[in-house]
Amino acid sequence: MKVLNRKSEILKVAKDLITEKGYNAVSMRDLAKALDIKAASLYNHIANKQEILSTIILEIAEAFTVGMTQIFNEETTSINKLQDLIGLHIDISINNSGAMAMMHNDWKHLEADELIRFVTLRNAYENNFRTIIKQGINQGEIINKNPEVIVFSMLSTLQTMYLWYEKRGKMDVNILKTDMVSVLLDGIRT
Amino acid sequence: MKVLNRKSEILKVAKDLITEKGYNAVSMRDLAKALDIKAASLYNHIANKQEILSTIILEIAEAFTVGMTQIFNEETTSINKLQDLIGLHIDISINNSGAMAMMHNDWKHLEADELIRFVTLRNAYENNFRTIIKQGINQGEIINKNPEVIVFSMLSTLQTMYLWYEKRGKMDVNILKTDMVSVLLDGIRT
DNA sequence: GTCTATAGTGCGATAGAC
DNA sequence: GTCTATCGCACTATAGAC
């Protein structure tokens, strides 16, 4: 286990607290108390409260972008790409449930450039997802239903998986992947 | 169009503001300004800020409970019950997207009795949902996959539908129901 | 790198006049 | 039913000592 520097340590504790209570409900005093220091001391490591939010959310958003880019460019069927995307979401959600919660709940408290960057990344991600579905329909691999409904249904399940995985005692990752692929993809396969 | 009394009017405006910014990010001064009165005047109509939250969230939670109870006791197949539940979610989500957002994002800011009541209702709802799925599996109507994965996948889609319906220019409700039933149920039917 | 002290702001809520 | 005025408190953030 690597020793964290002070800033990483602060971000880690902040992630846990904000996941539990929400961004606006966690004060710098709360955060400092959890680290056993005074609030003022935090400002030696971070510029302000916003920096905590944007660092955590953009880091996870960029991890999804990297994963998506790779999968999008694979030379394989759309169904295989969707299967890989399910795996990507499961892997990231399991290891970063705090950051997933913040991305889900608190992105709207981002400001200025960080907000724009986040929304841009998220839109690009959704567009790639939609393109994969449409290609699958055109290739006859995926049933010819409204692609928006398919995209929405899959994404909403994948995006809230972190909630559910936490709640019910962490099942085996490989079983989770198998069952999730089956439930999400069997219904749209031709 | 019925004329709203002052309290209903306050709750309606609060719903919109809180949906946009989150419960903690909307102050009583913000709310008052949106109504063109002073913050102090709000307290002639509501006891405190918490009352806004609990009134809106519990009202919608109870609407789901009523709908579920009725569907749960229908004498029909599990697949038909699920189909009716999808319709219930669509009908409520479309007419109450603000309240849906608050129930989704801000329930954790409920306090004491109201929090307990909400969690109780939500658990009962999920248990009924799970029971319907399990009965369907036992009757051979639904594929024999992990029922938790099926429940989670369907519920996460239904619970976040309000987000997506708002975002993309409100498609025809009947088409939405047909396609949603097909995408969510074709994959789990035997 | 952490501390004390504090500036400056905004919050929820109340009292009491009209 | 709305107002002005205000209380008491919590917040983010900074200055400067150690």
Least confident of A29-43, B28-42, B122-136, B145-159: B145-159
Q: How far away is chain A from the Cα of B3, in angstroms, using its nearest Cα?
A: 33
Chain A contact for B108 (CB, 8 A cutoff): yes
Tell me what pLDDT residue A3 has: 54
For helices B6-21 and B28-35, the axis angle rounded to 10 degrees is: 120
Task: Determine the Cα–Cα distance for residues A145 and B180; give it in Å rounded to an integer.
Answer: 10
* Total CB pairs under 8 A between chain A and B: 86
Decide: helix, strand or coil at residue B96: coil
- CB contacts, 8 Å: A183 with chain B: 145, 149-150, 153, 187-188
Q: How far away is chain A from the Cα of B175, in angstroms, using its nearest Cα?
A: 9
Paired tokens of B142: 């639904």
Paired tokens of A118: 């986040």
Of B150, B156, B188, the CB nearest to A160: B156
Paired tokens of A136: 């699958």
- With the C-alpha atoms ordered A43, A47, A53, A56, is the resulting torsion angle positive or negative? negative
Instruction: Say which DSSP state A141 is in.
Output: S
Tell me what pLDDT residue A145 has: 85
Q: What is the pLDDT of residues A71-90, one digit of tens each?
A: 999 999 999 999 999 999 99
- CB contacts, 8 Å: A152 with chain B: 157, 161, 164
Tell me what pLDDT residue B60 has: 98
| DSSP codes, B32-50 | HHHHTS-HHHHTTT-S-HH
Nucleotides of C strand lying within 7 Å of any protein CB atom = 1-6, 10-16
Distance B20 CA to C6 C1' (A): 35
Name the residue among A139, A170, A21, A149 with its Cα closest to residue B158.
Answer: A149
Q: Which nucleotide is nearest to B41 (CA to C1')?
A: D2
Chain B contact for A149 (CB, 8 A cutoff): yes
Distance B155 CA to D15 C1' (A): 53
Task: Determine the Cα–Cα distance for residues B41 and A93; give it in Å rounded to an integer.
Answer: 45
Q: What is the pLDDT of residues A116-173, one digit of tens each?
A: 999 999 999 999 999 999 999 999 999 888 898 899 999 999 999 999 888 876 788 8
The CATH code belonging to domain B50-185 is 1.10.357.10
Task: Determine the Cα–Cα distance for residues B60 and B102; give it in Å rounded to an integer.
Answer: 10
Tell me what pLDDT residue A30 has: 97
Distance A44 CA to C5 C1' (A): 17
- CB contacts, 8 Å: A159 with chain B: 156, 160
Chain B contact for A177 (CB, 8 A cutoff): no
Tell me what pLDDT residue A146 has: 85
> Is residue A13 predicted with pLDDT exceeding 90?
yes
Decide: helix, strand or coil at residue A163: helix
Distance B11 CA to D5 C1' (A): 27
Is the CB of residue A40 inside 7 Å of nucleic acid strand D?
A: yes
Is the CB of residue A30 inside 7 Å of nucleic acid strand D?
A: yes
Least confident of A84-98, A103-117, A170-184, B120-134: A170-184
Q: What is the pLDDT of residues A96-109, one digit of tens each?
A: 999 999 999 999 99
Contacts of A80 (CB under 8 A, 6+ apart): A74
Tell me what pLDDT residue B3 has: 55
Tell me what pLDDT residue A164 has: 86
> Is residue B1 predicted with pLDDT exceeding 70?
no
Mean pLDDT of B165-173: 79
Q: What is the pLDDT of residues A52-74, one digit of tens each?
A: 999 999 999 999 999 999 999 99
Chain B contact for A186 (CB, 8 A cutoff): yes
Contacts of B153 (CB under 8 A, 6+ apart): A157, A180, A183, A184
Decide: helix, strand or coil at residue B27: coil
Task: Determine the Cα–Cα distance for residues A70 and A181; give it in Å rounded to an integer.
Answer: 19
When the pLDDT of each residue in chain A is averaged and rounded to a whole number, the result is: 93
Contacts of A25 (CB under 8 A, 6+ apart): B24, B109
Tell me what pLDDT residue A1 has: 45
β-bridge mates for residue B189, sequence order: B142
Tell me what pLDDT residue B165 has: 85
Tell me what pLDDT residue A165 has: 85
Domain B1-46: which CATH number of 2.40.70.10, 1.10.10.60, 3.40.950.10, 3.40.50.720: 1.10.10.60
> Where along chain B do its domains lie?
1-46, 50-185
Task: Determine the Cα–Cα distance for residues A82 and A71; give it in Å rounded to an integer.
Answer: 9
> Is residue A33 predicted with pLDDT exceeding 90?
yes
CB atoms B176 and A149 under 8 Å: yes
Paired tokens of B151: 């429940």
Q: Which of residues 50-79 of A touch strand D (CB under 7 A)?
A: 50
> Is residue B2 predicted with pLDDT exceeding 60?
no
CB atoms A179 and B152 under 8 Å: no
CB B77 within 8 A of CB B141: yes
CB atoms B145 and A176 under 8 Å: no
CB A74 within 8 A of CB A85: no
| More confident: B70 or A173 | B70
H helices of chain A, where? 6-21, 28-34, 39-42, 49-72, 78-95, 97-106, 112-138, 147-159, 161-167, 173-185
CB atoms A148 and B168 under 8 Å: yes
Match 């319906």 to its residue by tokens: B165
